[in-house]
Amino acid sequence: WGGVLPWGADLYYVFATVWGREPYALDGGVLTCVFAIPLAVGACLSVALTYFQLSGEDYRWWWRSALSTGSTGLFLFLYALFYYCCRSNMSGPVQTVEFFGYCLLAAYAASLMVGTVAFFASFKFIRYIYVNLKMD
C-alpha cells in the first residue's frame, strides 16, 4: 500500500469536477505538482521497500517494486466506490456502468503509471548499489 497518502488530498475535487458540476479551481502549476507528488513518493517508497527486501536477502524485487506502489490503483477504485455511494447523486444502470467503467480504467492507468515509475526507480537504485559495491 505504498503511495496511498498523496492521492487522498485532491481526489474529492477531481471526482467532483469530472462527475459533478463543480469547476476545478487549480491552475496548471498546482495541478502539475499534484500529479508529480504521488510519482515521487511512489518512487521513494519503492526504493525503500526494495532496500528492506534486499536486506532480508530476498532477491525477487522485480514485481514487488512495481506492485508495492502500483496498488494505489485499488485505493483509487475504492475511493470511487465511496464517492458513488456517499457523495454523488447518480443512479440508474447506465450511469453506474459508465462511472465504474471509467473509474476502473483510470485506476488501472494510475496503477500502471505509478508502478512503472517505482520499478524504474528501484532498478536505478539496484544498478547504483551493485555498480558501487566493492569487494575486498
Q: Report yes or no on 63 lying in a domain.
A: yes
Q: Report yes or no on 136 lying in a domain.
A: no
Q: Report yes or no on 41 lying in a domain.
A: yes
Give how many domains the chain has, as a whole number: 1
- Spatial contact of 96 and 24, defined as CB atoms under 8 Å apart: no
With cut-offs at 50, 70 and 90, classify the pLDDT of residue 9: low
Q: Report yes or no on 96 lying in a domain.
A: yes
Residue-number span of the structural domain to which 111 is assigned: 5-131
The pTM of the full predicted model, rounded to 2 decimals, is 0.82
Q: Report yes or no on 53 lying in a domain.
A: yes
pLDDT tens digits for range 74-126: 888 998 999 899 888 888 899 999 999 999 999 999 899 999 999 999 999 99
